[in-house]
C-alpha cells in the first residue's frame, strides 16, 4: 500500500462517517485504523520523506524545518513524557496533546517508528491525566480540554493494545459528555466547563473541533448541539467585514484574524461549508494576504493553525494559493534550535507555537483525519 493510498483510505472512511451522520461501531473503526497504521509504518519509515513525491508543495526546506522542530520537541520532552510551558508543568495537557499531534501529522504514532517510545510516554502521561479526572475534565481550561480530546480521538484508532483503546474510549466519552453539558444557551463555550460561563469564538472553535473529531470517530454527538454551534458562529460574524468576532457583537471592531480562521474551519466541519458565512470569512482572510502571513498579529500561530485547515476544507484553489505562503513564512521564522518562539533549550518549557507550526507545515501529508477534506 502506498502512503498516498493509505491517506485516502483514512480520509474516505472518516468522511463516510461524517457524511452519513451515522455511528460506525468503534471496534470496526479501530481495527481499520490499526491495520492502516501498520501499513503506514511498513511502507514509510524513513521519516516519510517520500511523501513529498505526492506533495510537491512540501519543499525540502519545509521538510527539514519539520524534522528540526520534531527534534526540538524530543530534546525538550519532560521525564514524565509530557511537554509543558514551564518547569512547574503549566499547560502540560494542551502542549502534550499538540506535541503528539505534531508527530502524528507526519505519520508517527505511539509505539511505532523511531520515536515510538517517546510518543508512548506522552500518550501514557495523557491517559494518566484522564484517569485522575472522574468528571472527564482534562487540563485547567476548556482550551486544554478540547486539545486533549482531539489528540485522544485522533490517536484512538492508531493503538495496538486493547487496554489503551479502552482507556482512550472511556476518556473521550467522558470528555465529550463534559463538553455537551457545558455548552451555553448561545451555542458556544468559554474558559470553564459550565453553561453559565458565557462564550467566545476562540474557545468555541477549539472545543467544537474536538467534538467534530469525536463524531467522525464514531462517538455520538447530537445534531442539536451542532446546530446550536452553527447559530453561534452566525451570531459571531461581522456584517460589515465578514470576519468573525471574538465575542459576538456583529461589529467589525470586534473582528479577530485568529477567530476568523478558526470560525471558518469549525463552521465547515459543522456542515456550513458553502454558506455565505464561511465564504465571507475566506474572503476576509484572502483579502488581507500576504500581510497576515508575513506580519505577526495577535495569536499568529494559533490563527494560522486554523486558517490552513480552513483553506484545505475550502478546496484546492484556496489551499494551493495559501499553503506556499505560510510554508515559506514559517521556514523563515524558525529559530536555529528548531523552535518557533516560546521556550528554548535550557529554558523553562516549550511553547505551543512549535507544535502548531509543525502541524501547519505538515499539512501536505494529510495523515490526521480531522485535517483532511
CB atoms within 10 A of CB 11: 16
Return d(Cα 186, Cα 190) in angstroms, integer: 11
Residue 105 lies in a domain: yes
Question: Is the Cβ–Cβ distance between 205 and 143 less than 8 Å?
Answer: no
Backbone angles phi, psi at 45, to 5 degrees: -135, 70
Greater confidence, 344 or 366? Answer: 366
Greater confidence, 20 or 9? Answer: 9
Residue of 196, 39, 24 lying closest to 107 (CA atoms): 39
Residue 157: what pLDDT? 74
Residue 308 lies in a domain: no
For 32-72, what is each residue's pLDDT tens digit? 444 444 444 333 333 333 344 467 899 999 999 999 999 99
Q: Is the pLDDT of residue 359 over 80?
A: yes
Residue 294 lies in a domain: no
Distance of CA 292 to the CA centre of its chain: 20
Residue 202: what pLDDT? 97
For residue 126, how many C-alpha atoms fall within 13 Å in the half-sphere facing its CB?
37
Greater confidence, 15 or 355? Answer: 355
Question: Is the Cβ–Cβ distance between 55 and 61 less than 8 Å?
Answer: no
Q: Is the pLDDT of residue 331 over 60?
A: yes
Residue 349: what pLDDT? 86
Residue of 221, 215, 186 lying closest to 203 (CA atoms): 186
Residue 149 lies in a domain: yes
Tell me the three cell numbers of residue 353. 507555537
For 89-98, what is each residue's pLDDT tens digit? 999 999 999 9
Residue 307 lies in a domain: no
Task: Examine residue 85 and say whether the peptide bond preceding it is cis (omega within 30 degrees of 0).
Answer: no
Question: Is the Cβ–Cβ distance between 367 and 107 less than 8 Å?
Answer: yes
Residue 10: what pLDDT? 42
CATH number of the domain where residue 351 is located: 1.50.10
Residue 270 lies in a domain: no
Residue 16, sorted as left (phi over 0), alpha (psi -120 to 50) or beta, turns out to be: alpha
Residue 316 lies in a domain: no
Residue 54: what pLDDT? 64
CA dihedral 206, 72, 154, 203 (to 10 degrees): -10
Q: How confident is the model at residue 21 (pLDDT cuts 50, 70, 90)?
A: very low
Residue of 39, 17, 46, 42 lying closest to 29 (CA atoms): 17
- Give, to the nearest 10 degrees, the angle between helix 92-104 and helix 60-75: 140
Domains: count for the chain: 1
Residue 370: what pLDDT? 94
Return d(Cα 309, Cα 330) in angstroms, integer: 16
For 309-330, what is each residue's pLDDT tens digit? 999 999 999 999 999 999 999 9
Residue of 207, 186, 213, 208 lying closest to 197 (CA atoms): 186
Domain that holds residue 166: 3-219+324-371
Q: Where are the alpha helices (DSSP H) in 59-200?
A: 60-75, 92-104, 116-131, 142-156, 162-181
Residue 248 lies in a domain: no
Q: How confident is the model at residue 373 (pLDDT cuts 50, 70, 90)?
A: confident
Q: Is the pLDDT of residue 286 over 50?
A: yes
Read off the pLDDT of each residue in 240-258 and give the average, rounded to a whole number. Answer: 91
Amino acid at each position: 500500500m502506498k502512503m498516498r493510498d493509505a491517506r485516502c483510505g483514512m480520509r474516505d472512511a472518516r468522511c463516510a462517517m461524517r457524511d452519513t451522520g451515522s455511528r460506525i461501531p468503534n471496534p470496526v473503526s479501530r481495527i481499520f485504523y490499526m491495520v492502516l497504521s501498520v501499513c503506514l509504518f511498513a511502507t514509510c519509515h524513513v521519516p516519510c520523506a517520500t511523501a513529498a513525491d505526492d506533495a510537491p508543495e512540501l519543499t525540502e526546506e519545509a521538510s527539514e524545518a519539520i524534522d528540526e522542530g520534531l527534534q526540538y520537541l524530543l530534546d525538550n520532552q519532560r521525564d514524565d513524557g509530557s511537554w509543558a510551558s514551564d518547569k512547574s508543568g503549566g499547560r502540560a495537557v494542551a502542549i502534550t496533546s499538540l506535541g503528539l499531534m505534531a508527530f502524528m501529522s507526519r505519520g508517527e504514532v505511539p509505539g511505532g517508528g523511531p520515536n515510538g517510545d517517546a510518543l508512548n510516554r506522552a500518550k501514557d502521561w495523557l491517559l494518566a491525566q484522564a484517569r485522575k479526572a472522574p468528571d472527564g475534565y482534562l487540563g485547567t481550561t476548556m482550551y486544554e480540554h478540547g486539545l486533549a480530546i482531539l489528540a485522544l480521538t485522533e490517536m484512538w484508532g492508531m493503538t495496538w493494545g486493547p487496554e489503551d483503546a479502552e482507556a482512550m474510549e472511556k476518556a473521550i466519552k467522558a470528555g465529550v459528555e463534559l463538553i455537551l453539558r457545558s455548552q451555553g444557551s448561545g451555542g458556544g463555550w468559554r474558559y470553564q466547563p459550565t453553561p453559565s460561563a458565557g462564550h467566545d469564538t476562540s474557545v468555541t472553535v477549539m472545543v467544537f473541533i474536538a467534538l467534530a473529531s469525536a463524531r467522525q470517530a464514531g462517538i455520538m454527538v447530537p445534531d442539536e448541539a451542532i446546530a446550536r454551534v452553527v447559530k453561534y458562529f452566525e451570531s459571531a460574524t461581522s456584517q460589515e467585514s465578514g470576519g468573525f468576532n471574538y465575542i459576538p457583537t456583529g461589529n467589525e471592531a470586534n473582528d479577530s484574524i485568529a477567530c476568523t480562521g478558526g470560525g471558518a474551519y469549525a463552521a465547515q466541519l459543522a456542515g456550513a461549508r458553502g454558506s455565505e458565512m464561511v465564504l465571507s470569512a475566506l474572503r476576509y482572510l484572502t483579502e488581507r494576504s500576504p500581510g497576515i502571513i508575513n506580519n505577526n498579529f495577535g495569536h499568529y500561530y494559533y490563527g494560522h493553525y486554523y486558517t490552513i485547515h480552513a483553506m484545505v476544507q475550502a478546496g484546492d484553489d484556496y489551499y494551493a494559493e495559501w499553503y506556499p505562503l505560510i510554508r515559506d513564512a514559517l521556514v523563515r521564522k524558525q529559530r536555529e534550535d528548531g523552535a518557533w518562539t516560546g521556550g528554548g533549550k535550557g529554558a523553562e518549557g516549550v511553547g505551543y507555537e512549535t507544535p502548531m507550526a509543525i502541524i501547519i507545515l505538515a499539512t501536505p501529508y494529510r495523515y490526521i483525519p480531522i485535517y483532511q477534506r
